[in-house]
Amino acid sequence: MELVAVLLIMGVLAIVVVPRFWSSGFDESRLYSETAAALRFAQKSALAMQRTVCVTFSATTVTLSYDSNYATAVCNTPLVAPDGGAYVVNAGGGTTLAAANFTYDRTGRPSAGQTITVSGGRQIFVEAVSGYVRTQ
């Protein structure tokens, strides 16, 4: 009887846990949420510091930096994340990003409206006029 109970529990765990090792659904959700949070942080930082903040994308990273000078638009300093390090969002588990680089000016407006696509088809929108970050 005990052996049957152990086998039943192991079977249930195998059905629930094993697919998570081969699925990137969790990684896609994490990347989607962290990217949206980074974009909101970039806009708020541009407003708070009154500096240009650059959002740079690669296929697997989002990097935030800012202009250390008031009147120029050259991002030359990494934006500091709440944990104290440079603000970089890294994709994991084979997930990717597709987006164009852009900047937030010191009023929080983006240089252009943006659509950021996370692998799996989920999209994040940055409104052109307000800079509002909209998720679906």
Domain boundaries defined on the chain: 25-135
Superfamily (CATH H level) for 25-135: minor pseudopilin epsh domain (3.55.40.10)
Q: Report DSSP letters for the chain, one per residue.
A: -HHHHHHHHHHHHHHHHHHHHH--HHHHHHHHHHHHHHHHHHHHHHHHHTS-EEEEE-SSEEEEEE-SSSS-----EEPBPTTSSB-EEE--TT--EE---EEE-TTS-BSS-EEEEETTTEEEEE-TTT--EEE-
What pLDDT, on a 0 to 100 scale, did the predictor assign at position 20?
Answer: 60
What pLDDT, on a 0 to 100 scale, did the predictor assign at position 24?
Answer: 53
pLDDT, tens digit, 9 for 90 and up, residues 13-55:
888 776 666 555 667 888 899 999 999 999 999 999 999 999 9
What pLDDT, on a 0 to 100 scale, did the predictor assign at position 18?
Answer: 67
Q: What is the reported pTM?
A: 0.79
